[in-house]
Amino acid sequence: MDELDTALLTLLQEDAKQTNKELARRLHIAQSTCLERVRDLTRRGVVRGHTVDVDLKKIGRPVQAMVAVRLRPPDRAVIESFRAFVEGLPEVLSVFVMSGSDDFLLHIAVADNDQLSGFVLDRLTQRREIVDVRTSVIFTHFRRTVVTPAESGD
């Protein structure tokens, strides 16, 4: 990642719908150079796609929570089975497989506290491998939308 790659990555994260012409103009480079660099970032897996930021309140899911889950036994088959299960639940926005005291951290969004309670009590705790569930309601969520590459230790 050089300075130009970093600048392109920043601009794409700010607005992924910018045209190649606009990106090249903003960076003062040739359109062909810009296109080649964006294609290279994509080929290398630095840029993995374009996403849409959905307003959860406007789609009827304003209540967000983080749900910490501990499983037993903590072996690969149990963890992979549970991960596949939660990845299929529509309430789940993100799944984090963790080390430490919790095995999973789930970011969920639901319509209200009744749905939150139902998700935990009726969906999660019915699984035999779960030995502990802790739920924390999210009051405010900030997500960094522009991430810069780490500086090399050169």
The CATH class given to the 3-43 domain equals mainly alpha
Architecture of the structural domain at 57-138: 2-Layer Sandwich (3.30)
* C-alpha–C-alpha distance, residues 41 and 10, integer Å: 12
CA nearest 116: which of 68, 60, 63, 69?
63
Write down the pLDDT at residue 143.
Answer: 86
Output the pLDDT for position 101: 93
d(CA 145, CA 45): 18
Query: Using one digit for the tens of pLDDT, what is the confidence trace for 99-135?
Result: 999 999 999 999 999 999 999 999 999 999 999 999 9
Alpha carbon separation from 125 to 32, 45, 79, 128 (Å, rounded): 55, 37, 15, 7
Segment 2-25 mean pLDDT: 93
Strand pairing of 130-138 and 63-71? antiparallel
pLDDT in tens, 68-83: 999 999 899 999 999 9
Match 């309601």 to its residue by tokens.
Answer: 137
> What is the percent of the chain with per-residue pLDDT over 90, rounded to a whole number?
82
Q: What is the pLDDT of residue 153?
A: 62
Task: Provide φ and ψ at 70, rounded to 5°.
Answer: -115, 135
Residues of the chain with CATH 1.10.10.10: 3-43
* 57 pLDDT higher than 90: yes
Element (H, E) at 67: strand 63-71
Q: What is the pLDDT of residue 40?
A: 96
- What's the pLDDT score for residue 151? 80
Determine the Cα–Cα distance for residues 62 and 110; give it in Å rounded to an integer. Answer: 6
